[in-house]
Structure 1
Amino acid sequence: MMKKIIDNIINPNLITLILYGLLSLVCLVTYVWWFSFVWEFIFSVTHYIIGLLVTLGIGLNISYTIDKKHGTKLKRYILVSLAQLIIIWTVANPIRTWQIESSKNKARLIIESLETYKMQYDNYPTSLAELGNKLNLVLPNRTNIGTKYLYTMYSNKNYSLAFTSYYGYMASYNNEQGEWGFTD
């Protein structure tokens, strides 16, 4: 029985590759998602991409050598992960753009409520909780990316509404100019 399991691992059939593919997909998506917010890890976001490619390249070379020497089919695992990574990176930018834009759109309710509050009370609230309580509103507190909206009142005329975006960038709304900007 154990010999059959080991043989199925070193010479994977379709079911084994599907199970591996599911596990690999979860790991790769988690890895890419996590590193999308900690781009300063080591030097830049490029390093996690290069690191994955180098790791997969080394794995492909090792598995190819083992396959050739022992007649196994280990390189199939690496090829599955490589194909998944290419698909993840292909869809990541459009999804990232959509999430940032939809998070900014979601913030419009907060921004409009801040302006309504200012008109009614002649100044901005000290917190989003105060804003929601005084206007009897349930305001979004998290973006579509999952990060929190951060509100800071600077004076009766200025405030900042911000959220952490991908690659460690901070998206900030400038109420004087009515625009969003990104800083790192």
Structure 2
Amino acid sequence: MPLPFLTADRAFDASAEDVALPFDDHDSWRRPYRPGPWRVAAAATLLLLASFVLLAAMIIGVAGAPSGATVCLVLAAALIAAALRLLRVGAWVSRHGVRRVAFFRTTTVAWSGTSAVRTVQQPVKWMGLPRTVQGQALVVVRQSGETLPPLATDHNADFLGREEAFERATDAVEAWADEYRLG
């Protein structure tokens, strides 16, 4: 089974360093970077917890309590859905625009609706928690002047401790913006 999110960084292989937009199909939505280790670890932990809850559902079901087994199955399904959604969180790009996927909400802006996509120094949330630190954020400014919440920061679950990966990802998103914003 192909896992396209694992090959998102192929543009930065030694053989393809000069390619800004490495994908053949620019119409499909793609994340221009790999999910970070913190995000993958959190999703793996949720899936591990879901496996224990499924085991509990099986034991409860065999013991003869179908209502308890149903509750465990619903809880396991919610944990699996949360893990999958957590892996989808981030910035996604295509020929049509840029998409900011949050855990509960997705915002899509067409390239023609943006006036700027840039990296700025500003206070950013550390790992999505209320605590803020000084850092860098990739922001999208709409034609109306409204600035969206950051697409990515150097202190989120994808880039904490991976400054080079953050720079490559922001360069890739800015390259997509330069390619399709005016064209």
TM-score normalised by structure 2 residue count: 0.35
Q: Decide which structure has greater helix share.
A: 1
Greater RCO structure (CA 8 Å; 6+ sep)? 2
Q: Decide which structure has greater strand share.
A: 2
